[in-house]
Amino acid sequence: MKQVYFDNAATTQIRDEVIDKMTKVMRENYGNASSSHSFGRSSKSLIEKSRKTIARYLNVSAAEIVFTSGGTEADNLVLQSAVRDLKVTHIITSKMEHHAVLHTVDQLEKTCNITVNYVNVDSNGTVDYAHLESLLNTTEKTLVSLMHVNNEIGNILDIKKVADLCQAKNALFHSDTVQSVGHYKLDLQDDKLDFLAAAAHKFHGPKGVGFVFIRKNSGLKPLIFGGEQERGYRAGTECVHNIVGIEEAMTLAYDNLEEESEYIKSLKQYFIEQLKAKVPAVKFNGYSADMEKGTYTLVNVCLPVAPEKAGMLLFQLDLKGIACSKGSACQSGSTKGSHVLAEILDDADMQKPSIRFSFSIYNTKEEIDYVVDVLREFI
């Protein structure tokens, strides 16, 4: 059976170069990075080299990069410590965030007596910046948490505009950049974010490792207590091979960004053209079909399928060897529909199947032809 992987927004195939580098480290650099002997120092030097590399791509100091187990831990560290240690009493977010943010904010609202406001979004899922500015007119200590690239519909936040608004209103700004780091260049000297979360497995690195950017002198404190690893921000013996893996993945992503992003853009454009030609009633959710307002890595489509048949679509695609998603991979097995699409689609379109197809350098136009033909046949 033909196998087509179009679920790269959920996770990506690890590059061979990353696997090779990680395997070498596992064989040769097995010392505990906290040990003072040569084995430990060897591991420690690899971690610090990785930290410096990542910091260089974001134009920050190495001391501002803290390695975590991934984006969820990074989001939790920022949000929970902001309330507990920075005395934030007001959080502004949107109802279209990843659940790593939404569920954490919900828990903080219940247990810490904070005020939570959700910024308005339009029918395409774009943040209402005027409403955001009005929500920032408060005397409460405020943290804004808005994702850079939406993981379901691909809308791109004007991250500089939000950063400037927050700075003008003396508010902190955190962004979940899990879908953008490795795909877009970020200059954190120009874009004045206070905190940022990222995960390696979204740009052809290993699962189980990510990082959080914490601007110097923020006052943030650890979520996990124990040893003094990661400058006291994150206790626990560092996973050296994973950290080297995220460095290698990020290096390859940014060193090849122009060429690889152009290739993926061409795949997305071709997919859109073929869908429009062969499934004329198709709709594109949010700005997922817009090459400027939406990320080049994914398309979210609402398909003209009757409600009684809609539930079979993903099953049929899976039978044909096609991997894709009805939303975030974190929602698999949930009986609830997409909370993101619920914000922007009317009742009629919510009854139809919406599918997210996301692309990488390992995909081809031949795969797109196959997927479009399968969709047309089902419809």
Instruction: Tell me the residue type at 313.
Output: L
Closest-CA residue to 11 (of 247, 329, 286, 265): 329
Instruction: Indicate the DSSP class of residue 148.
Output: S
Of residues 247, 221, 226, 246, the one with CA closest to residue 236: 226
* Active site members: 330
Other CB atoms within a 10 A radius of the CB of residue 281 amount to: 11
In the three-class reduction of DSSP (H, G, I as helix; E, B as strand; rest coil), residue 27 is classed as: helix
Strands 283-284 and 4-5: unpaired
Closest CA to 151 of 286, 282, 333: 286
Q: What are phi and psi of 126, to 5 degrees?
A: -85, 135
In angstroms, rounded to a whole number, what is the distance separating the alpha carbons of residues 80 and 35?
30
Nearest-Å Rg of the Cα atoms of the chain is 21
Question: Phi/psi class of residue 334: alpha, beta or left (left: φ > 0; alpha: ψ in -120 to 50)?
Answer: beta
Residue whose tokens read 């994973």: 242
Which residues 6+ apart lie within 8 Å of 359 measured at CB?
6, 8, 264, 267, 268, 271, 297, 298
Neighbours of 278 (CB within 10 A): 15
CA distances from 16 to 23, 53, 363, 378 (A): 10, 20, 16, 35
In the chain, where do the E strands start and end?
4-5, 65-68, 90-93, 115-118, 142-145, 172-176, 195-199, 210-214, 283-284, 298-302, 322-323, 354-358
